[in-house]
Structure 1
């Protein structure tokens, strides 16, 4: 083999690795900026809205861009900027609360399952398998049909739908960690199950659990937006981003901003979350040597 070619391979490999390593940082920064921006909108949007959310401010429906109404007007002549700023609170807030609850309960059940006797582990696992076999949208439709639509019910539905997924991810990591030497040493010292679960296992699986939390957040945003688009989510006079798309569907053939803006908002939110999660996952892989 030509020695020049042989020498060039490590260099080219190093350059390729450097490009791969530097790439996700920009995407991760972009994802972080988008996520923080939407979080700020959810927190302060209602105070930044230039008009009351339900006020008709124009005689023209589906109005385009103007200095008075940067996002145009909706099918009733209401200011879309104000409605998006207020609607983001429901989308981001409900999804964040549901994701935190689903991840917390799922991880807690996983830790309980791993440190419990075999029979209890089997019962918990089989219950989770039964719930995970039900599609999330089908479960949501059943619950809304049975109990009616409300903010509390939407959160409960999303939590029940995504607890099994969080449980499976957390349990797979907890089982591997539970077999490691330092956990066995803690058991030999006579530490209780609660101590082993909370002090030995949980801290060493926290980063993957947080990554999974971000993924669940994105899934729940899409679930709640889909439910609102079907008219089964947040009910008038309140509206989330999915509701804004549904109620302005009449402007689709006109390319109205009233339907484009909330659709873009949902897209940027989910893409930003995924970019941030991909960056955190790749950073964790590089720290562990790609394993």
Structure 2
């Protein structure tokens, strides 16, 4: 593993550095932030100073502290949601590929119906009815995103399940879950890991979009997308504040994509 990291390109190392930095900030948020997540510490939209490193927001809260706590809230929510979407999508995709027949048709047509609706509109409709609590937000996005994971995992599993070693496992009398766990999953890991990074970026940006529209994490919780919406009025006065959380969103997204690009190159088997 260490040798692999040493051979990684500069772009992948930059991506790892960006991701590690954000994760460390999220983990140690209470130790890094000089003020509380909801503490009003100054006047509205103050500039850079020794007291407020990034200034203050629309009601006088320290923007640096809000950014630090926003990293914890946004990244944790996106990571948990992506894990759930992969759990739903891969399990159903593998079952559909291995069982085939009417089970495959039922699951695939159900997924097709869900995917027929624009994701953002579908999410807005559900959250408008059920509310924007954190469990509802996680479950809604996880279910919608699992449709993409299902399509990929099913396609990958269908290529693997026709292999001779899978047929040999069937002839030995191995059950469905044994075949999925021992034969399908290990061979499907490279594309699924790469897809996990892409799905994390999508979920991360999707949560930020919902927060910008007022249906993501609700105040007073700090959230990068919500912070852009809350301080959008500052642009009218030529104040930079909304660009900081927007830049943080782009920064982390680029970092994850740099790692994913490297991993896709490795899993493709191509060599320079």
CA distance in 2, matches of 1:265, 1:289: 33
CA distance in 1, matches of 2:72, 2:38: 15
Offset, 1:254: 3.5
Contact 1:71 1:257 in 2 (8 A): no
CA distance in 2, matches of 1:23, 1:260: 35
What's 2:166 paired with? 183
Offset, 1:64: 1.9
User: SS in structure 1 opposite 2:9?
Assistant: helix
CA distance in 2, matches of 1:92, 1:119: 38
TM-score normalised according to structure 1 size: 0.87
Q: Deviations over 1:226-252 (max 9, x none)?
A: 111111111111121011111011111
More displaced 10-residue stretch of structure 1: 145-154 or 168-177: 145-154
User: SS in structure 2 opposite 1:138?
Assistant: helix
Alignment of 1:262-281 (within 5 A): 262-281=245-264
State whether structure 2 residue 29 is matched by structure 1 residue 45: yes
CA distance in 2, matches of 1:92, 1:117: 36
User: SS in structure 2 opposite 1:109?
Assistant: helix
CA distance in 2, matches of 1:216, 1:255: 35
TM-score normalised according to structure 2 size: 0.93
Offset, 1:206: 0.8
What's 1:3 paired with? none
What's 1:36 paired with? 20
User: SS in structure 2 opposite 1:130?
Assistant: helix
State whether structure 2 residue 46 is matched by structure 1 residue 63: yes
What's 1:205 paired with? 188
State whether structure 2 residue 200 is matched by structure 1 residue 217: yes
CA distance in 2, matches of 1:117, 1:168: 14
Offset, 1:75: 1.3
CA distance in 2, matches of 1:193, 1:84: 46
What's 2:3 paired with? none
Say which of 232, 236, 249 aligns to 2:219: 236
CA distance in 2, matches of 1:104, 1:177: 19
- Larger Rg, first or second structure (1 or 2): 1
Contact 1:106 1:170 in 2 (8 A): yes
User: SS in structure 1 opposite 2:48?
Assistant: coil
The runs of at least 4 aligned residues of structure 1 exceeding 6 Å deviation read none
What's 1:248 paired with? 231
Matched length: 266
Offset, 1:258: 2.3
Alignment of 1:55-204 (within 5 A): 55-59=39-43, 61-204=44-187
CA distance in 2, matches of 1:48, 1:258: 20
Offset, 1:117: 4.2
User: SS in structure 1 opposite 2:49?
Assistant: coil
Please, which runs of 5 or more residues in structure 1 have no aligned partner? 1-21
